[in-house]
Structure 1
Amino acid sequence: MQKRGKKNPKTKYLYIYPIKAGFPSPAEEYLETVLDITSLVIQNPNSTFFGRVKGKSMEEEGIKDQDIIVIDKSIKPQNGNIVVCTIDGVFVIKTLKIKGKKIELESSNSKYKTIEIKKENEFEIWGTVTWTIHKVRNVRTRGL
């Protein structure tokens, strides 16, 4: 028997597909077998890690404060990718913009300025964001 509070990373869960966001059709019944969330979000286990977002600069991309993000270091960062990088020792999540030899990091929230990477900056791209995981607002978890 598994102790309460311990997680089994090998657990696979039942899932339903598709779940329509429009008018439901009672004639459609789709119960798939199992969903292994780990293999869904982690394509390259040796180069994948998780992070927790702090701040609101990427909200327009659906990445909110306290979200968990999945970052894959094996994906070559390309123009337009959302990346996690360090600038002068500080981790940030931004959209990568490559304009010739110029690199900029753009927030999706217009309240935040675009960061232009300069020669004097210590800059490293840690990886490309592949997934974001966040809790649905106003979910009651105890009692009704």
Structure 2
Amino acid sequence: MSQAQIKIERSTVKIPLLRTRLTAGFPKPSDDYFQKRLDPKDLLEINPATTFYMRISGDTWNEYGIFDGDHVVIDRSIPPSNGKIAVVTYAGNFTLRRIGKIGDRFCFLVKDQNSNLIPIEPDSEVEIWGIISFGIHRF
């Protein structure tokens, strides 16, 4: 599907945002009053023209808080930078890679057999498709 074929929908759902922060206890009666209504796209800083959701399959990224079945918010307008998690395409498939930097060039960080992160140079068939900006995890 080309970007021209993608229908951009505007969110009209606004969810109440309470004034106080959540604590591990009972809420105060004064918390019955909400601060404002918050549109989820504002909370997630979504740019409708460059943002996509994808569902994660697999448990390779659990240590980064990305679990099987989670949704991730991918923004194609965010430039790659050191430490970001990127959605990359390789041989027609999508996968995740952590971005590293060697000098002024980007690389991908992968684990060796001892679970140490080592940099690898991306080959010409790998393209950074977008950067993960948020993960949506259901408890």
TM-score over 0.5 (shorter chain): yes
Distance in 1 of aligned mates of 2:19 and 2:110:
34
Contact 1:57 1:112 in 2 (8 A): no
Contact 1:96 1:106 in 2 (8 A): no
Are the structure 2 counterparts of residues 17 and 82 from structure 1 closer, same or farther at C-alpha, using a change threshold of 3 Å?
A: farther
Equivalent pairs counted in the alignment come to 126
Are the structure 2 counterparts of residues 69 and 17 from structure 1 closer, same or farther at C-alpha, using a change threshold of 3 Å?
A: farther
**How large is the RMSD of aligned CA atoms in angstroms?**
2.9
Contact 2:90 2:126 in 1 (8 A): yes
What amino acid sits opposite 1:53 in the alignment?
A: I
* Match in the other structure for 1:140: none
Equivalent position to 2:109, from 94, 105, 108 = 105
SS at match of 1:56: coil
Residues 72-99 of structure 1: per-residue CA shift (max 9 Å, x gap): 1111010101111112332112321122
Equivalent position to 1:53, from 42, 47, 56 = 56
> How far off is 1:13 after superposition?
1.5
Q: Does 1:37 align with 2:40?
A: yes
Residues 43-98 of structure 1: per-residue CA shift (max 9 Å, x gap): 32211111111111211111111111111111101010111111233211232112
> How far off is 1:22 after superposition?
3.9
What stretches of structure 2 of length at least 5 have no aligned partner?
A: 1-9
Give the fraction of aligned pairs with identical amino acids, expressed as a percent. Answer: 30
SS at match of 2:68: coil
What stretches of structure 1 of length at least 5 have no aligned partner?
A: 1-7, 137-144
**TM-score after normalising by structure 1:** 0.71
Equivalent position to 1:13, from 10, 15, 19 = 15
Equivalent position to 2:120, from 101, 116, 121 = 116
Within a 5 Å distance, the mapping from 1:71-82 to structure 2 comes to 71-82=74-85
Are the structure 2 counterparts of residues 17 and 58 from structure 1 closer, same or farther at C-alpha, using a change threshold of 3 Å?
A: farther
Are the structure 2 counterparts of residues 124 and 20 from structure 1 closer, same or farther at C-alpha, using a change threshold of 3 Å?
A: same
* Match in the other structure for 1:130: 133
Distance in 2 of aligned mates of 1:129 and 1:102:
16
**TM-score after normalising by structure 2:** 0.73
